[in-house]
Amino acid sequence: PHIVTANCNDCKYTDCCVVCPVECFYQDDTMLYIDPNDCIDCEACVPECPVEAIYSEGNTPAQWTSYVQLNKDKAEALKAVGGEAHITDKHDAKEGPGCKAKA
Ligand code: F3S
């Protein structure tokens, strides 16, 4: 599966979840997460992210490998919450102080 990593922190552009054919994105106040059980590795979301936050598990940069477990744990918890935690539409970008936006 694919995972969302550090660059999503405080950004939440949400361009990713819109194109996901299996609606496997979940959110909290900080960032989005992919449910690894539902992700089909289509890679549609990867080029959509303006800050290159999404990687395949096996191709995750070394400093962000902890996000593999984080996506699994957070997605599971947020899936249980349901409602707005399950995100499939674009929201206004958060672009907070931690956002490493390139554009
Ligand atoms: Fe985050 Fe990028 Fe999606 S900033 S919300 S992973 S488009």
What are the residue ranges spanned by the domains of the chain? 2-85
| Pair 16, 64: CB distance under 8 Å | no
pLDDT digits (tens, 9 = 90+) for 13-22: 999 999 999 9
Residue 73 alpha carbon to ligand 1 centre in Å: 18
Distance CA 44, CA 81 (A): 26
37-66 burial, b at 16+ Cβ within 10 Å, e below that, comes to: eebeeeeebbebbbbebbbebeebeeebee
- Specify the pTM: 0.93
Q: CA end-to-end span of the chain, whole Å?
A: 27
Structure-token match 């477990």, residue found = 69
Structure-token match 């958060």, residue found = 94
User: Which ligand 1 atom is at minimum distance from the Cα of 11?
Assistant: 4
pLDDT digits (tens, 9 = 90+) for 34-74: 999 999 999 999 999 999 999 999 999 999 999 999 999 99
Distance CA 98, CA 76 (A): 25
At the topology level, CATH places domain 2-85 in Alpha-Beta Plaits (3.30.70)
User: Which ligand 1 atom is at minimum distance from the Cα of 7?
Assistant: 4
Residue 7 alpha carbon to ligand 1 centre in Å: 8
